[in-house]
């Protein structure tokens, strides 16, 4: 497969066209942003960790029946994926209170929740990814009702699969963000699953092994990313 022109550069990844019309190549960068781009920095080696970790988890999810954009890893930082049309939604699952939920609701970080929460944000940097609900999705035709049924079904199933998988590695999955796309009429999981997009706490010590170390200047940022990839891939 030939890597052709760059189609897009995001905050953490670049996307390139290929000589296959339905395939693009993602290249993961070490750039890190937080608070809607207000805080910028570099996490050395992050791109490699996120590429490997995301691919590992996407393969696991495929085996468990979740359709994903994953095709094949090409190098430490590059992966071939299906060229999908991304739904303009961030799909967030919460198992414990943290982050924007804690702030918005005045609930202390780490508080257990009586049920799993699924929520949506509208993917729009200029608007700061505002919180929306399923009526906004329908009213603005961001996705069809049928597509949203799949999104919900997959998101909860992914939470069950990943929570169990991480727990086995001594890590609690606190919350995470998913993005889905359309590919040949079907909904598939896209984007990435990594310490950039999940909150991951060590079960024994409670140590944060995710991007909150960068967001909150907790130190040992690179180490946390390396620790996660080590637990997953040995």
CB 189 within 8 A of CB 154: yes
Return the residue of 51, 55, 197, 226 that touches ligand UDP, per CB under 6 A: 197
Angle between helices 46-63 and 221-233 (to 10 degrees): 30
Three-state DSSP class for 218?
coil
Q: Which is nearer to ligand UDP, 68 or 197 (CB)?
A: 197
Extract the tokens encoding 62: 């495929």
* 133 exposure class (CB count in 10 Å sphere: 0-12, 13-18, 19+): exposed
Query: In this structure, what are the phi and psi dihedrals at residue 88, rounded to the nearest 5 degrees?
Result: -80, 50
Site for ligand UDP contains 88 (CB under 6 A): no
The Cα–Cα gap between 146 and 152 comes to: 10
Return the residue of 71, 175, 213, 221 that touches ligand UDP, per CB under 6 A: 175
Return the residue of 61, 97, 171, 198 that touches ligand UDP, per CB under 6 A: 198
Site for ligand UDP contains 173 (CB under 6 A): no
Site for ligand UDP contains 213 (CB under 6 A): no
Site size toward ligand UDP, by CB under 6 A: 15
Site for ligand UDP contains 199 (CB under 6 A): yes
Helix ranges restricted to H, 96-199: 99-105, 134-139, 145-167
Q: Which is nearer to ligand UDP, 55 or 194 (CB)?
A: 194
Tell me the CA distances in angstroms from 207 to 29, 123, 146, 167, one per residue in order: 25, 29, 39, 14
Site string for ligand UDP, 128-167 (x = CB under 6 A): -x--------------------------------------
Going by the DSSP 8-state scheme, the letter that residue 209 receives in this structure is -
Site for ligand UDP contains 96 (CB under 6 A): no
Span near ligand UDP by CB under 6 A; candidates 19-27, 77-85, 98-106, 219-227? 98-106
Tell me the CA distances in angstroms from 201 to 63, 93, 214, 228, one per residue in order: 25, 15, 14, 10
Site for ligand UDP contains 43 (CB under 6 A): no
Site for ligand UDP contains 82 (CB under 6 A): no
Q: Which is nearer to ligand UDP, 75 or 133 (CB)?
A: 133
* 88 exposure class (CB count in 10 Å sphere: 0-12, 13-18, 19+): middle
Site for ligand UDP contains 101 (CB under 6 A): yes
Q: Which is nearer to ligand UDP, 3 or 207 (CB)?
A: 207
Interface contacts to ligand UDP, rule CB under 6 A: 90, 92, 98-101, 129, 175-177, 196-199, 211
């Amino acid at each position: 497969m030939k890597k052709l022109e760059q189609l897009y550069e995001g905050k953490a990844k670049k996307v390139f066209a290929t000589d296959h019309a339905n395939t693009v190549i993602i290249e993961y960068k070490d750039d890190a942003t937080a608070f809607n781009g207000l805080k910028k920095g570099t996490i050395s080696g992050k791109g490699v960790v996120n590429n490997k970790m995301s691919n590992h988890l996407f393969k696991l999810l495929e085996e468990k029946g979740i359709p994903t954009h994953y095709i094949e890893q090409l190098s430490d930082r590059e992966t071939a994926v299906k060229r999908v049309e991304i739904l303009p939604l961030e799909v967030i699952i919460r198992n414990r209170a943290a982050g924007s939920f804690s702030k918005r609701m005045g609930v202390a970080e780490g508080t257990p929740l009586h049920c799993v929460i699924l929520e949506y944000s509208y993917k729009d940097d200029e608007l700061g990814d505002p919180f929306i609900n399923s009526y906004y999705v329908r009213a603005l035709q961001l996705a069809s009702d049928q597509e949203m049924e799949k999104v919900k079904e997959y998101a909860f199933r992914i939470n069950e699969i990943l929570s169990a998988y991480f727990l086995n590695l001594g890590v609690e999955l606190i919350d995470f963000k998913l993005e889905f796309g359309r590919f040949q009429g079907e909904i598939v999981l896209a984007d990435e699953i990594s310490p950039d997009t999940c909150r991951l706490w060590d079960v024994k010590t409670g140590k944060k092994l995710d991007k909150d170390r960068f967001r909150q200047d907790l130190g040992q940022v690179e180490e946390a990313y390396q620790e996660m990839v080590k637990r997953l891939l040995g």
